[in-house]
Amino acid sequence: MTVHLFHNAHIHTPRDAGEPARGIQQAELVSYPKGAMVVEDGIITAIGHASDVMPALEEAAIEAETDCQGRCLIPGFVDPHTHMCFARLREAEFAMRLQGTPYMDILKQGGGILSSVQSVAETEEAALLESTLAQAQRALRLGTTTLEIKSGYGLDTENELKMLRVIDAVRRHTPLDVVATFLGAHAVPPAYSDDPDAFVDLVVQEMLPAVADQGIARYCDVFCEKGVFGIQQSRRILLAARQQGLELKIHADEVHDLGGAGLAAEMGAATADHLLSTGDANLEKLAAGSTVATLLPATAYSLRKPYARARFMIDHHLPVAVATDCNPGSSYTESMPFVIGLAVLNMHMSPAEALTAATLNAAYAIGMAADVGSLDKGKQADFLLIEGDSPAMLAYHAGVAPIVAVFKRGVKVAQPGDE
């Protein structure tokens, strides 16, 4: 058993009370200005003030020791919503959006999601894995130690299963913990444009059983939006997913207040994501349940849209997580520090609330809170050393990731300059 002592650190971590933090709890951090942490075989066995931790240690038992040199030590980031399994970038569409072309118009012209669908179909599995690994490794260097990756650029059984195999390979080939989500209902393929219900039939009757048999995906997601999948279609897909043993997520109300958040509350979905257009009534329905609101501020930034109302959600006791939404179209970033900065400066969250959103609540959003998301005895020693004395540095040092080193299960896995 390897015993590693980390000391001389400003430790800050959310408080895990056994459920997502909501309301004033989201701003409550446990802090040890002169902290120490003991890690045994990748698991935290002691953490607290150095004056409490150090006397309890037997010097002979310590096999490794790291002086953190007074730096801030925080949990590794958990990114609970990404689409980073893709084949090619879509820079031309970025230029179109800057010129005022709405995303839904780009989608109707065969761009957007449909462009990525074509490129995934044309790309061999090994090449798709290579590009996805590149995104995941950049995320790791930027402090993400656990992440979710969705399929959804396949839109047929063969390519959706291919994407899920690639996502599972990322889990096996990197230090990251990776959670896979099936998003076969990401868009309606052109062949089904005149009969979208027939595509829903395909998702329910063919794709979902195949995905369940494959055994890689933990969640099923659906893009519940005007012009994509309506409430009844989304409900049908999610009910079928639940019958196949998958947990539920919903892309809700990104463009229109269609009622996706209300559906998430009705279905008891693990998360409702985006929520840019959700009205008060459906946010209050979400707050009455256990669903986590996963907000994607980099998407609002990229699309130049009003941000989700994080302040209203937190004040109404809805637990909030944040994620990159890393994808080749509307949010091409792997940087959780960038997302935290946007959450603080543009969504009116405090630095403590944003840290909780990017760690503990994000871990609950993908069912990983028993292992990651906070620095607690018995959890994995997934943590970051960052510049400064507090997590405020993540927003204060704008546009820069102040990461000194990234640790996964107590082992340094990345630092600035790594390639």
Higher-pLDDT residue of 121 and 57 is 121
How do beta strands 64-67 and 320-322 pair? unpaired
pLDDT tens-place string over residues 178-228 = 999 999 999 999 999 999 999 999 999 999 999 999 999 999 999 999 989
For the cut 70, the answer to whether the pLDDT of residue 59 exceeds it is no
DSSP letters, 268-285, are T-SEEEE-SS--HHHHHH
Residue 330: predicted pLDDT: 86
DSSP bridge partners of 407: 383, 412
State the angle between helix axes of 157-173 and 113-122 in degrees (0 to 180), rounded to the nearest 10: 80
pLDDT of residue 195: 97
Q: What is the pLDDT of residue 415?
A: 83
pLDDT given at position 417 = 67
Write down the pLDDT at residue 340: 98
Burial-class residue 80 by CB neighbours within 10 Å (0-12, 13-18, 19+): buried
Measured CA to CA, the distance from residue 182 to residue 254 in angstroms comes to: 19
pLDDT digit string, tens, across residues 300-316: 999 889 999 999 999 99
Question: Is residue 106 scored above 80 in pLDDT?
Answer: no
Check whether 154 has a pLDDT greater than 90. yes
The torsion region of residue 409 among left (phi > 0), alpha (psi -120 to 50) and beta comes to left
Instruction: Give dist(CA 179, CA 172) in Å, integer.
Output: 12
Which domains, and CATH codes, for the chain?
Answer: 3-75+374-414 (2.30.40.10), 78-365 (3.20.20.140)
Question: pLDDT value at position 341?
Answer: 97
Among left, alpha and beta (phi > 0; psi -120 to 50; other), residue 48 is left
3-state class percentages of the chain: helix first, strand second, coil last, to nearest 5: 40, 25, 35
Q: What is the pLDDT of residues 125-137, one digit of tens each?
A: 999 999 999 999 9
Q: What is the pLDDT of residue 214?
A: 98
Reported as a single tens digit per residue, the pLDDT across 266-279 is 999 999 999 999 99
**Is pLDDT at 60 greater than 70 in this prediction?**
no
Q: Is the pLDDT of residue 391 over 70?
A: yes
Residue 65 predicted with pLDDT over 80: yes
